[in-house]
Structure 1
Amino acid sequence: MKFDTFVLGGGMVGVSIAVHLQKRGLSVALVDRKPPGNETSLGNAGLIQREGVYPYAFPRGFGMLLRYALNRSLDVRYHLSAMPKLAPFLCRYWYHSEASRHAAIARSYSTLIEHCVSEHRALVEAAGAGALLRAGGWLKVFRTARKQDAETREAERWNAEYGVPFESLDAARLRQDEPFLHHSLVGALRYTASDSVSDPHALVMAYARHFEQLGGRVLIGDATTLEPHWTVRTQHGRIEARSAIVAMGPWSDTISSALGYRLPLVAKRGYHMHYAAKAGARLNQPVLDVENGYLITPMARGIRLTTGVELGHRDSAATPVQLESIEPIARQMFPLALRLDDKPWLGRRPCTPDMMPIIGPAPRHKDLWFAFGHAHHGLTLGPITGRLIAEMMTGTQPVADPYPFRVDRF
């Protein structure tokens, strides 16, 4: 079988790229080892983060660094055995997280973030997936006034710099909006321009069905069999295309390194578990417990509890210590009942040390493109990444300047 292009990776980024290329008249195959949406895109918090103009930085305060070093933090834990391999990456991550460098990164990053909601809504409408989308934003809740004041100052800065709207809720307003959250909470911030989804996996599947309705093909295949110029093995045999796009999230460096690219990609691991709510209790929107670094959100399967970051080898066995530590705290904040999953889900977020994705042509191979490294914002940035790649590949004016996300910046 021959195509104009094939996309390796069936997560939110890969599916979005496939949709945008197919609707521009190219014949496209989407290739992955599993059906779409069954890896990293399955287990996120379901946030489309319009407020996320500043990507998640490495803490630089001494007290926070000491807490992380002692491996006692609820929001970040590490495997000691992985530190020799991860240390160079973490040093570069720390370097780019300095305030002025982080601000410069935000100026580039915001050019993608500003389109995240509108691009998702366009695909949601085209795919007939409106029932999965929730407008109205999400909440950061606070246990202390000091933390709320600090976060409010940051929200005010984001609003002044990038027009990110928010509203501040006192304790009474928070109880009105979320009456089943613990009444010891002192208040909240709501990022009103962000959306959320009730089932990230179902959303990826809806986009994939739309891709097929446009004439695209979804194929099960082995990306490690990729060969220039360009072929890959699938269950239907080896397929050919004039171009190839690598969008395999945390496994992308498996392909890029085989082709001679040494790109600094590390997987931040994370866990989730679903719970029933106790009788009569309900949660109306995603809620982040800022001081303890976990999020609960209403999903189609139940209340999803997501953890922070675990630093370890990408494919090592699950060690859900964070989930076990935060579950009692989450139960105190909201009346969770029985666990609904047999075991915690483990996912991996593909991260670069400058916190920005890699989007663009591979410099040493004709008609090879990379689109990965979206870290915590794979769901958020999938559709805008798809549009940007499609515009670059078809020679049309790109919606955003792709230069900051180029492959050879490393």
Structure 2
Amino acid sequence: MAEIVVLGAGMVGIGAALALQARGHDVTVLDRREPGRETSYGNAGLIQQEAAEPYAIPHEPSKLWHYAIGDSNDLVYHVPAVLKTAGPLWSYFRASATRRHRLIAQTYSRLTGRSTADHAPLIEAAGAQALVQRTGFYQMHRDPRAFDKAVGEAARLRATYGVESRVLDGAALMTEEPALRREVAGAVHWTDPWAVKDPGGLVAAYARLFVDRGGRVVNGDAQTLTQDGGGWQVRSAEGPLQASDVVVALGPWTPELLGRFGYRVPMVWKRGYHRHFRVATALNRPIQDAANGVLLSPMVDGLRIATGAELVDRDAPRNLRQLERGLAGARELMEVGEPVNDDVWVGHRPCMPDMLPVVGPAPKHKGLWFDFGHGHQGFTLGPTTGEILAAMFAGETDDDVAKKLGYGDASVFGGARYG
């Protein structure tokens, strides 16, 4: 049995803690906030079993032109931030080329494909069934040409990865979603994902399960991590914590910490926003409004409007342009009232240039482990990469893990990628 400290109490950190705990280890989770209050809180609340291919940078000249002139709400950018991360962005762009992207997806699809199966026992054990709706979400299109293209893409994903979906025209969508007051071209209903109406609440429920099973969650500053003889030490509100092993699951804050130990982490931060609004009639399922680059999710606090990506420095001032356009688009579709409160959430997705999470032992430090870089899917993949990490911790090689969990070539998970 090892004494392990997991740095980060989001879905990724808690998922790793539960997986390590299940194998008999003494695990403590440390975070500056309560579990599930950072990036895991702010997402659109989807466990995206259908997300077989990671989000790529488009190569089509027309899409790049729309990005360049600021016509797209999927992504907005700021020139200084783009210049600062030009190297990682160029690597990301190269990895997004069709042939390479589909090679990456051979691994990625195996991760997302088992995500709901890895969440299911935790949801039951945590008593969190009421937070989860297992009925998918809609990808809605206003433009008929965009809708036809989406239908073809859904057929390709079904044939390639077995991703299930159904197609609805505008009238059928309005029948299934009485809150809508305007007919659109149609929607693809992705049937396999699960929608969570309180993402932070689900992480908190998993954290309570972890504590009930004998784990500890403490407040502290992960950036105080130091080597301590043959182990590690980090300062917490309860005093110094010593451990033989430490897992870095800090999402967008990972590069700052690991840089002190000589690791260069070429992370791309994609900022996202959300805000809750009152609605007269709630949606039955989340709706992705493709034309306006937002996802409309029914939550316990009202309708959550969650934006796409903004390429910006982590500490840059808030820019509500995407959220405001998304709100205007939502009000064209349904009756959306005033904000529930004055809070606008802002956070950052930790994206790696090759679009794969970094999971495994650090190449230069004994007892240091990586579990970060999940991009848009940390909420989806936290329990899954936790299982991978726990298997590696037990001494299984990448190939052993691949064969056991059915991932194909799992060597891409190793921490040595960014050693």
> What range is the shorter-chain TM-score in?
over 0.9
Task: Name which of structure 1's ranges 292-301 and 141-150 shifts more when overlaid on structure 2.
Answer: 141-150
Q: Per-residue displacement from partner, 1:297-320 (whole Å, max 9, x unpaired)?
A: 100100000111111001222222
Q: Deviation at 1:22?
A: 1.2
- For 1:175, give the aligned amino acid: M
Aligned to 1:305: 305
Aligned to 2:410: 402
- For 2:241, give the aligned amino acid: I
Q: Deviation at 1:192?
A: 0.7
Contact 2:182 2:332 in 1 (8 A): no
Contact 1:357 1:373 in 2 (8 A): yes
SS at match of 2:291: coil
Asked if 1:214 corresponds to 2:213, the answer is yes
Normalised by the length of structure 2, the TM-score is 0.94
Aligned to 1:231: 233
Q: Deviation at 1:344?
A: 1.4
Contact 1:48 1:195 in 2 (8 A): yes
Asked if 1:326 corresponds to 2:326, the answer is yes
- For 2:189, give the aligned amino acid: R
- For 1:87, give the aligned amino acid: A
C-alpha distance in structure 2 between counterparts of 1:205 and 1:283, whole Å: 25
Matches for 1:121-270 after TM superposition, within 5 Å: 121-228=120-227, 229-270=231-272
- For 1:288, give the aligned amino acid: Q
Q: Per-residue displacement from partner, 1:65-106 (whole Å, max 9, x unpaired)?
A: 112112232121112221220222221111111000110010
Matches for 1:5-16 after TM superposition, within 5 Å: 5-16=4-15
SS at match of 1:238: strand
Contact 1:268 1:350 in 2 (8 A): yes
Contact 1:223 1:233 in 2 (8 A): yes
- For 1:261, give the aligned amino acid: Y
Contact 1:127 1:210 in 2 (8 A): yes
- For 1:135, give the aligned amino acid: R
Q: Deviation at 1:127?
A: 0.9
Aligned to 1:19: 18
Contact 2:171 2:183 in 1 (8 A): no
Asked if 1:368 corresponds to 2:371, the answer is no
Task: Name which of structure 1's ranges 127-136 and 78-87 shifts more when overlaid on structure 2.
Answer: 78-87
Q: Per-residue displacement from partner, 1:328-376 (whole Å, max 9, x unpaired)?
A: 1111112111111213110110000111111111011111110111111
SS at match of 1:212: helix
SS at match of 1:19: helix
Give % identity: 44
Contact 2:278 2:340 in 1 (8 A): yes
Contact 1:136 1:195 in 2 (8 A): yes
Aligned to 1:101: 100
Q: Per-residue displacement from partner, 1:273-301 (whole Å, max 9, x unpaired)?
A: 100103xx221011001122111010010
C-alpha distance in structure 2 between counterparts of 1:389 and 1:270, whole Å: 27
Q: Deviation at 1:3?
A: 6.6
Contact 2:92 2:354 in 1 (8 A): yes
Asked if 1:111 corresponds to 2:114, the answer is no
Tell me, which stretches of 5 or more residues in structure 1 are unaligned? none
C-alpha distance in structure 1 between counterparts of 2:224 and 2:258, whole Å: 12
Q: 2:276 aligns with which of 269, 274, 277?
A: 274
CA root-mean-square deviation: 1.4
SS at match of 1:230: strand
Contact 2:361 2:416 in 1 (8 A): no
Aligned to 2:40: 41
Task: Name which of structure 1's ranges 180-189 and 23-32 shifts more when overlaid on structure 2.
Answer: 180-189
Between Structure 1 and Structure 2, how many residues are aligned? Answer: 407
